[in-house]
Amino acid sequence: MKKLFLMVAALVITAAAHAQIETPVRWSYAAKKISATEAVVYLKATIQKDWHIYSQNVKEGGPSKTVFTFKPSKDYAPVGKTVEPKPISKYEDVFKMNVGYFEKEVVFSQKIKIKSPKASAVTGKLEFMVCNNVKCLPPDEVEFSIPLAK
């Protein structure tokens, strides 16, 4: 009985080791100073083939939209809304509406007002949902810290 239990346990551990967590989106970041008091931060999603993430402008009742939240700071402040390129728009039966999304890669940008020479990085979090034509993964949340070039 003990041998059978150990064999089953070994099989479960082996199967778990082979199971992979799907991460079809990789995020990268950059910043560019425009002047002594302004910068633009870039948040780039690189998306694996056959997957997509959704626009920031998805209507109520649709999939989870991409959301950027910048941590409040006395050193900097976001100016306006985060900008995105024009998304692909497609009617999705599941949601009974047209939905905007991005494939392959997308770069979002956010203008930043620098309020202090001590400002060294812009921090916050982003939330997004990724889907393919078979399934959607649960919404994910990623924290970021984007260094401001001196």
Say what the pLDDT of residue 112 is: 97
Domain assignment present for residue 13? The answer is no
Range of the domain at 91: 24-147
Domain assignment present for residue 94? The answer is yes
Say what the pLDDT of residue 11 is: 40
Say what the pLDDT of residue 101 is: 97
Domain assignment present for residue 19? The answer is no
- pLDDT, one tens digit per residue, over 89-132 is 999 888 899 999 999 999 999 999 999 989 999 999 999 999 99
Q: Hey, what's the torsion of the CAs at 99, 100, 103, 105, to 10 degrees?
A: -150
Domain assignment present for residue 141? The answer is yes
Say what the pLDDT of residue 103 is: 98
Q: What percent of the chain has pLDDT over 90?
A: 79
pLDDT over 60 at 71, yes or no = yes
Are the CB atoms for 102 and 55 separated by under 8 Å?
Answer: yes
Question: What is the rounded CA–CA span in Å between residue 56 and residue 85?
Answer: 11
Say what the pLDDT of residue 129 is: 97
Question: What is the rounded CA–CA span in Å between residue 92 and residue 62?
Answer: 9
Say what the pLDDT of residue 13 is: 45
Say what the pLDDT of residue 90 is: 94
Question: What is the rounded CA–CA span in Å between residue 48 and residue 99?
Answer: 19
Give Cβ neighbours of residue 82 (< 8 Å, ≥ 6 apart): 43, 56, 68, 108, 109, 110
Tokens of 93: 């039966």
pLDDT over 50 at 39, yes or no = yes
φ/ψ of residue 67, rounded to 5:
-130, 135
The beta strands (E) that lie in the chain are given as 25-33, 38-47, 52-54, 67-70, 76-83, 88-92, 97-103, 105-114, 121-128, 130-131, 140-147
Query: Region 63-92: what's the mean pLDDT?
Result: 96
Query: Region 14-27: what's the mean pLDDT?
Result: 68
pLDDT over 90 at 21, yes or no = no
> At 40, which CATH number?
2.60.40.1250
* Number of domains composing the chain: 1
Domain assignment present for residue 80? The answer is yes
Domain assignment present for residue 78? The answer is yes
